[in-house]
Amino acid sequence: MITIIAAAGENNELGKDNELVWHLPDDFKRFKQITTGHHIIMGRKTFESFPKPLPNRTHIVITRNTDYKKEGALVVHSLKAALEKITGDPQPFIIGGGEIYKLGLEVAQKIELTRVHGTFEADAFFPKFSKDNWQLVDSVFHDTDERHQYAFTYETWLRK
């Protein structure tokens, strides 16, 4: 089951200048818990936004640059090639950015979306997806608190 995992604002904002525009420790913890032990597929800019590769995950980086090489990453040049690199993993994750999410919507069976309740200045956006093709199967609200400036909702969507 190919799963897209993302956090997006009310207007589908993902980030600005290759960084998130919010800090939600519980969402980071959930991301780590869900993706650990799996393949994670991302674009080059998303990979380069990490200080180092994320532990206990196989990084597959999609880039148009045929000379691109990075330690800790399998480098490919299409989503199809990324999916071909996955062996023995029943649930690989597509983790961004905006262009890779757009490609991923074609092949994913599940979306784990953290909907951040706010609007933000952004230059990267999560693609719109049709409720005709996706069904919301779980929704868990998280209010603001001393560690979370914004309320958010974990949403799980399955392809119909």
Q: Which residues, 6 or more positions from 86, have their beta carbon under 8 angstroms from its beta carbon? A: 39, 60, 92
Q: Which two tokens stand for residue 122?
A: 């952004």
pTM here is 0.95
pLDDT value for 87 = 86
Tracing tokens 């997006």 back to the chain, one arrives at 8
DSSP string, 26-91: HHHHHHHHHHTTSEEEEEHHHHHTSSSPPTTSEEEEE-S-TT---TTEEEESSHHHHHHT--S-S-
- Long-range contacts formed by 47-53: CB under 8 A, 24+ apart: 47/73, 48/18, 49/18, 49/19
The Cα–Cα gap between 47 and 43 comes to 6
At residue 89, what are phi and psi to the nearest 5 degrees?
-120, 110
Say which DSSP state 98 is in: H
What string of pLDDT tens digits covers the 160 residues of the chain? 999 999 999 999 999 999 999 999 999 999 999 999 999 999 999 999 999 999 999 999 999 999 999 989 999 999 999 999 998 999 999 999 999 999 999 999 999 999 999 999 999 999 999 999 999 999 999 999 999 999 999 999 999 9
Report the alpha-carbon distance of residue 15 to residue 65 in Å, rounded.
Answer: 23
- Separation of alpha carbons 83 and 115, rounded Å: 26
Q: Per CATH, the architecture of 3-159 is what? A: 3-Layer(aba) Sandwich (3.40)
- 102: which 2 tokens? 């757009």
What is the torsional sign of CA 18, 22, 23, 28? Answer: negative
